[in-house]
Amino acid sequence: MIRRSVAAAVLLASASFAHAGEVYGNIGLPGVMLGYAHPVNASFTVRGDIGSLGRYKERRTEDGIAYNAKIDAHRAGLFGDYFISGGLRLTAGVTFNNVKANLDARGDGVTPWEVGDTTFVASPDDRFNVKVEYPKTTPYLGIGYGHHQESGWGFVFDLGASFGKPKVSETHSGPNLGNPALVSQADIDKEMAEIRDDVGKLKVIPQVSIGVNYRF
């Protein structure tokens, strides 16, 4: 009789885990996130979410050249959470990214540009465009808290990163930039090497976010 009661209790607990679901929302990096989590057992949960910082613009200077930057940051992810103590967990997964920046510089006929080892006054028809794009698919590792309560509202926190080296490419045109007698390919290559060196330091897409969840 006792064995039957224990077995029934185990089956009931398993069923509750199997059928419980959870929705959650986070804010931080990488933006506003919405997701769904499902417990496999008391120690492991699988979940997926989408997040976005949208598109924003800013003006930035790289190696003396002023760029108008357009930045897109969107992400979806699939994750597994392993709980090590209470709500404290380790997280691993994969993210699917649309994270890129388009940096466009145009001359004004007054300001000197330094490209490689050559300095010249860029005309309004001189354009130097740099594109930076992170891989579409990257592994994710992190730590966090939450997604563990049996029902109701809870608090969630995540700290982690998607790992991937961004790709950097360029196009250029204009009476000065397009004149190899003035600006050589070696100058362009040196300028790009400096940009890649700066961008190459950012080999992760970070996640630092807090939010709330509701399990039903």
Q: Tell me: the pLDDT tens digits for 119-172?
A: 999 999 999 999 999 999 999 999 999 999 888 999 999 999 999 999 999 999
Beta bridge partners, 192, equal none
pLDDT, residue 199, reads: 79
Helix (H, G, I), strand (E, B) or coil at 70: strand
For 58, the enclosing helix (H) or strand (E) is strand 44-62
pTM to 2 decimal places? 0.82
Identify the CA nearest to 116 among candidates 169, 64, 69.
Answer: 64
Question: Is residue 9 assigned to a domain?
Answer: no
Segments forming the whole domain that contains residue 167 = 22-215
Cα separation, 160 vs 207, in Å, equals 5
Cα separation, 115 vs 117, in Å, equals 6
Question: Is residue 59 assigned to a domain?
Answer: yes
Question: Is residue 1 assigned to a domain?
Answer: no
Question: Is residue 63 assigned to a domain?
Answer: yes
Question: Is residue 13 assigned to a domain?
Answer: no
Question: Is residue 12 assigned to a domain?
Answer: no
User: How many structural domains comprise the chain?
Assistant: 1
CA distances from 212 to 92, 97, 101 (A): 20, 23, 30
Question: Is residue 3 assigned to a domain?
Answer: no
pLDDT, residue 6, reads: 37
Cα separation, 117 vs 119, in Å, equals 7
Cα separation, 54 vs 77, in Å, equals 16
Cα separation, 206 vs 209, in Å, equals 10
What does the DSSP 8-state code read for residue 104? E
CATH of residue 105's domain is 2.40.160.170
By the 8 A CB rule, do 53 and 70 touch? no
Q: How many alpha carbons lie under 13 Å from residue 163 in its C-beta half-sphere?
A: 7
Residue ranges in the chain whose pLDDT is less than 50: 1-17
